Chains A and B, each alone.
Chain A
Amino acid sequence: MTDAEQAREEVAEFQKRIGALREEIGRVIVGNREVIDGVLSCMLGSSHALLEGVPGLGKTMLVRTLADVLGLEFSRIQFTPDLMPADIIGTVVLEEGAGGARQLEFRRGPIFANIVLADEVNRATPKTQSALLEAMQEHRVTVGRTTHVISEPYFVLATQNPLEMEGTYPLPEAQLDRFFYKLEVPFPSRDELHAIIDRTTSTQHAQVKRVLTREQILQMQALVRRVPVARHVQDYAIRVLQATHPTGEEAPELVKRFVRTGGSPRGAQAMLLGAKVRALFDGRFAASIDDVKATALSALRHRVLLSFEGEAEGVAPDRVIGEILKKLPGSKE
């Protein structure tokens, strides 16, 4: 078997596993295919996602189901204003040993799990948020003089309610940038609502089974990283990112008027990693411009900061990014 054939098999296996994953999740979660794919992309891209949606749309359910089918350790943190960093990281406690000897021992917080659901992350104080975000970025936690590594895969899913802004602490731009994707959970359609109600108001409860092991997940994450990206696709992603800046060469008029700051390089990384995942989802061996386009909204919407005029005019970041994708030609080189 040649390397190419082996790679082809790997991709096929990836696609098969994703199919199984989707099927299992679909047993619990109704619809929301885009959100599920987005969450999976974040996980396979070894990064984290910010879910935004009104309460009751199944955000927590999605994350819990994901943890179940992946067979990973899961913890949920409900963020509140009085939540302290130690509450999520863990703390050092004095513990008496078997010999009666007492020693300081670090007791891990809920952050030490493979999948962490940070519910309503914007309700905690910035200090607590920072503690979470450090762990997200570094995949490790330092307490005192001891650094504790979080086991892989590590995946944080934070949620926030866009309506209730009273008593919240909106995440600063620097912290928002740590999230791979910002996924907006849409309100379900009529059919989806029927299905949701049917499933949740009867005695039958869907049981999901574990379809992936930790190792398999890590393999899939590695395969994503190996997916090649042609130069023109990468160039396109960079041009899209540059176009989000008002000073960008190809920035459309809308960006120049209403955008204060564009996306960081993490935005391009997110777009390309997401594009790779999407290519594998489709069984392709390389990412395409279409994949970049498909991931651009999720990867950039929380990274594009509107100016005062943009906010006053009610311009949504999605509209800005949509305009960029519409105006930017496929290839320039």
Chain B
Amino acid sequence: MASSDGIALLRHAARRAGRRARAAAVFGRIALLLPLPLGYAVLVLTLVKALRLDTASQRGWWLLGLLPLVIFLVGVGRVLFSRRPSWQGSIALDQFHGFHDRVTSALSFSQVPVAERTPLIEAAIEDGVALAGKLDPRRAVPVGLPRELAVTLGLLLGLGALSVLEVQKLRQLPAPPSFEPMVMSADDIELFRDVAKELQVKNDDPNALVAVHRFNQLVEDIAEHRLDRHEVFQRMGDLERDLKDNLELDRDARDDGLKGLARELEKSGLSKAAANALDEKRLADAEKALRELAEKLKKKEGRPSPAELDKLRQALEKASQSSEQRARSIDQRRRELEEEHKSLLKKKKSDQADAGASPDQDKKLADNERRLEHLEREKNRAERSQRQMSELDKQLAQAARDLMRDAGQSAQDLEQGAQDINRMAKQETSEEQKQELLKKLQEMRELMRQQGKGGKDQMQRLQKFGQRARGQSGAGQGKPGEGQGEGQPGGKKDGPLRRGSGPGSVSIDIPVPQSGSSQGQGQPSGDKPGGSDPGSGPNYGTGHDPNLAGNATDLKGKTTDVTAAGADTGQGAASSQVIYGAAERGFVGRGYKQVFTDYQTVAERALSQDQIPSGYRFYVRRYFQLIRPRE
């Protein structure tokens, strides 16, 4: 083999080995650095999956991932494009084959000019060339898979697994609407049924009857457990709103109308009695006076003089027009004011365009607006009054017209007017019934509120309260004549205050709501003292230093047994006995009813006049509800 050919072969083999060495280095670097971006990708993907990052948040994380990617690319690029040692391939061949650099030396010496070559150099070149056939670059520089590639592979698998993995997120499904019917005790249902029945009997006003019917329906729905708490309160609210709606307005409008009427009728001596009655809202007397006037007109004897009749006519005529005139005059004033307001606004605008509005103008405008609002309300009231009085006005106008032609006919007209007044009186009664219904609705709402606000404990307390109110024994009931209770100022937390009521009776737990303090000095019979923790409430019963109450009552020597005081003398039943007996017999009996009414009247008076903690009002009323007479 010629030396040059041999050198070419050596060079080729060395280059090949060099390329393989470079490739192996690149693979090694890839395997070393690839876990960096891959690991980052795994991290970000985990975050994305676990934290459910939105697109905007993801973008930041992925952009940050450019850093490890750049590190990877630069690292690999440096290996790929860096200058490698010239003899890397040949040295690798020498080392693999154990040639002691004979190939590399031959290649190196081949670059020495021939003229400068020594015999030993020539010998070294020939020695190297002789090895050309034995070189195996593929085995000398194996391009195998780097061990670090396992990490990359693992990360790739993890990345794939993560990408297909869907993190199950527990989605909170909306809880199915639970229907918890409003529960009212049978006794309370009966109470409110009785109320409805009573109102129905008393009332013949169609509007009031409708309201009563709605109330009755509400009670029945509660009894049938068809309504939940929310619906009950909603329906009660609707009913109350409807009842209240216009009730006061109607009354005021009617009063206005009647007053206007009275003012005009007063001008005639014949109708003065009716005018006075109307002015004082004695509608029955006014009706009676008008009927008497009609009778007087019908009679031929003792008929009023023509002058009196003329005065009456004028009075009736003006009275018939009073409501209308009043409405008209209010409307007129309102219009004038409206015009003035408009002009003021216009002026203000022009002034603003010039130099700005003055404070006086603003004040005047505000005042104007207030007056307009007032007149608007007045106008509505007058129109309402006009509507209510329209029938009576018509009758009075007719009476005035007929009075000059036929006094008898005029008398009939006045009788019609009297009937209208009667109708108004009835309307007033109906309003009272509505008020009664409203009151019952409020009681019902308070009962439900009390039942609902304290949870189960409050329900239990109310049940116990009910049991004891009816004379049934409950837990912790003291024996007659045994023990003594002395209530301490109530604490902040709800707690029953037990009040002793004397021997033979039962103590009644009054669940004190909220932070109202209680102050009690129990009479003997309670099984233990009442409220314990001193506390302060916003309103009543703020409590006081226990020392202020003085020494505890020494019951041994000073108390008096109430039962003993109410002993039967044979001259009639003592009230206490009636109550005691009533509870046993189921609260029936006429005597009990009378006593109950007396006591309830006193209690209601006290509730309306005295300052009583609002929490107690409910229990007092509740107590009377529970012990009400039964048929």
| A contact residues around B123 at 8 Å (CB) | 4-5, 7-8, 11, 285
Taking CB atoms, residues of chain A closer than 8 Å to B86 are 232, 331, 333
- Minimum C-beta distance from A319 to chain B (A): 24
Q: Is B575's CB within 8 Å of the partner chain A?
A: no
Contact between chains at B124 and A228 (CB < 8 Å): yes
Known: A3-B119, A11-B123, A228-B120. 4 other contacts (CB 8 A): A289-B101, A329-B85, A332-B85, A333-B85
Determine if B88 is an interface residue (Cβ-Cβ < 8 Å). yes
| A331:B100 contact, CB within 8 angstroms | no
Measured CB to CB, the closest approach of chain A to B7, in angstroms, equals 14
Bound-state CA distance A141–B105 (Å) is 41
Contact B101 A290, beta carbon cutoff 8 Å: yes
Provided the pairs A230-B105, A331-B86 are in contact, do residues A4 and B122 lie with their beta carbons within 8 angstroms?
A: yes
Shortest CB distance B622–A (Å): 93
Chain A residues with CB under 8 Å of B120's CB are: 7, 11, 226-228, 285-286
Interface flags for B77-107 (1: CB within 8 Å of A; 0: not) read: 0000000011110010011000011101100
Within 8 A of B (CB), among A249-293: 279, 282, 284-291
20 contacts between A and B (CB under 8 A): A4-B126, A6-B119, A7-B118, A226-B118, A228-B121, A232-B101, A233-B101, A286-B109, A286-B121, A286-B124, A288-B100, A288-B102, A289-B91, A290-B101, A291-B100, A330-B91, A330-B95, A331-B85, A331-B104, A333-B85
A233–B85 CA distance with the chains assembled, in angstroms: 13
6 closest cross-chain pairs (CB), A and B: A288-B101, A3-B119, A7-B119, A230-B108, A285-B124, A4-B122
Indicate whether B127 reaches chain A with its CB closer than 8 angstroms. Answer: yes
A205: Cβ under 8 A from any B Cβ: no
Q: How many residues of A contact B (CB 8 A)?
A: 30
B109 adjacent to A228 (CB under 8 Å):
yes
- Distance of A285 Cα from B100 Cα, bound (Å): 11
Alpha-carbon distance between A285 and B118 when the two chains are bound, in angstroms: 11
When the two chains form the complex, which single residue of B109, B118, B119 contacts A230, counting CB atoms closer than 8 Å?
B109
Tell me the complex Cα distance, A232–B89, Å.
13
- Output the residue of B95, B104, B123 with the most chain A CB within 10 A: B123
Q: Which of B441-488 contact A (CB under 8 A)?
A: none
Q: How far in angstroms is the closest Cβ of chain A from B97?
A: 12
Query: Would you call A145 an interface residue if the criterion is a C-beta within 8 Å of the partner chain's C-beta atoms?
Result: no
CB closest residue in chain A, given B89: A331
Specify which of B94, B101, B104, B121 lies most central, judged by the most chain A CB atoms within 10 Å of its CB.
B101
In this complex, the member of A6, A289, A290, A331 whose beta carbon has the largest number of chain B beta carbons within 10 angstroms is: A331
Contacts of B95 in A (CB 8 A): 330
Given the contacts A231-B108, A332-B85, A285 and B91 also touching, CB distance less than 8 Å: no
A-side residues, CB < 8 A to B, are: 2-8, 11, 226-228, 230-233, 279, 282, 284-291, 329-333
Instruction: Please name all residues of chain A whose beta carbon is closer than 8 Å to the beta carbon of B105 when the two chains form the complex.
Output: 228, 230, 233, 286, 288
Q: Is the CB of A282 within 8 A of B100?
A: yes
Contact of B122 among A3, A11, A226, A330 (CB under 8 A): A3
Residue of A226, A330, A332 most packed against chain B (CB within 10 A): A330
Assembled-state Cα–Cα distance A329/B100 (Å): 15
Residues of B within 8 A of A279 (CB): 100
B91 — which chain A residues lie within 8 A by C-beta?
232, 289, 330-331
A to B contact number (C-beta, < 8 Å): 85
Candidates A230, A284, A290, A291; contact of B127 at CB < 8 Å: A284
Chain B residue nearest in CB terms to A292: B101
Residues of the B chain whose Cβ atoms lie less than 8 Å from the Cβ of A5: 123
User: What DSSP secondary structure best describes chain B's contact surface?
Assistant: helix
Interface residues on B, range: 20 to 34
Q: Looking at the complex, which one of B102, B118, B119, B121 makes contact with A284 (CB distance below 8 Å)?
A: B102
Complex contacts, B88 vs chain A, CB 8 Å = 331
Residues of B within 8 A of A288 (CB): 94, 100-102, 105
In the complex, are the beta carbons of B85 and A284 less than 8 A apart? no
Q: Which chain A residue lies CB-closest to B108?
A: A230
| Cβ A333 vs Cβ B87 within 8 A | yes
B112 → chain A, closest Cβ, in Å?
Answer: 8
Partner of B100, one of A3, A4, A232, A284: A284
A271→B156 CA distance, assembly (Å):
50
The answer to whether B124 touches A232, judged by C-beta atoms less than 8 angstroms apart, is no
In residues 108-158 of chain B, which contact A (Cβ within 8 Å)?
Answer: 108-109, 118-124, 126-127
Contacts of A284 in B (CB 8 A): 100, 102, 124, 127
Q: How far is the CA of A331 from the CA of B108 in the complex (A)?
A: 13
Q: How far is the CA of A290 from the CA of B94 in the complex (A)?
A: 10
Q: Which residues of B contact A333 (CB under 8 A)?
A: 85-87
User: What chain B residues lie within 8 Å of A231 (beta carbons)?
Assistant: 108
Residues of A contacting B85 in the complex (Cβ-Cβ under 8 angstroms) = 329, 331-333
CB contacts (< 8 Å) of A329 on chain B: these are 85
One digit per residue, 1 when the CB lies within 8 angstroms of any chain A CB and 0 when it does not, for chain B 591-621 equals 0000000000000000000000000000000
- The residues of B that contact A332 with a CB separation of less than 8 Å are 85
Tell me, rounded to whole Å, the shortest Cβ–Cβ distance linking A6 to chain B.
6
Task: State A226–B91 Cα separation when bound (angstroms).
Answer: 23
Q: Is the CB of A286 within 8 A of B102?
A: yes
Measured CB to CB, the closest approach of chain B to A227, in angstroms, equals 6
The B37-95 residues at the A interface (CB cut-off 8 A) are 85-88, 91, 94-95
A230 / chain B contacts, CB cutoff of 8 Å: 101, 104-105, 108-109
CB closest residue in chain B, given A284 = B100
A330 to chain B minimum Cβ distance, whole angstroms, is: 5
Q: Is the CB of B87 within 8 A of A232?
A: yes
Chain A residue with the shortest CB-CB distance to B100:
A288
Within 8 Å CB of A289, what residues of B?
A: 91, 101
Interchain CA distance A7-B123 in the complex, whole Å: 7
Q: In the complex, A155 Cα to B337 Cα: how many Å?
A: 140
What is the minimal beta-carbon distance from A102 to any residue of chain B, in angstroms?
Answer: 55
- B1 CB → nearest A CB, Å: 14
A145 to B122, CA, bound (A): 48
CB contacts (< 8 Å) of A2 on chain B: these are 119, 122
Chain B CB count within 10 A is highest, among A3, A231, A286, A288, for A286
Chain A neighbourhood of B124, CB < 8 A: 228, 284-286
Query: Closest residue of chain B to A332, judged by CB?
Result: B85
Q: Please name all residues of chain B whose beta carbon is closer than 8 Å to the beta carbon of A8 when the two chains form the complex.
A: 123
Query: Chain A nearest CB: distance from B531 CB in Å?
Result: 84
Bound-state Cα–Cα, A158 to B349, Å? 124
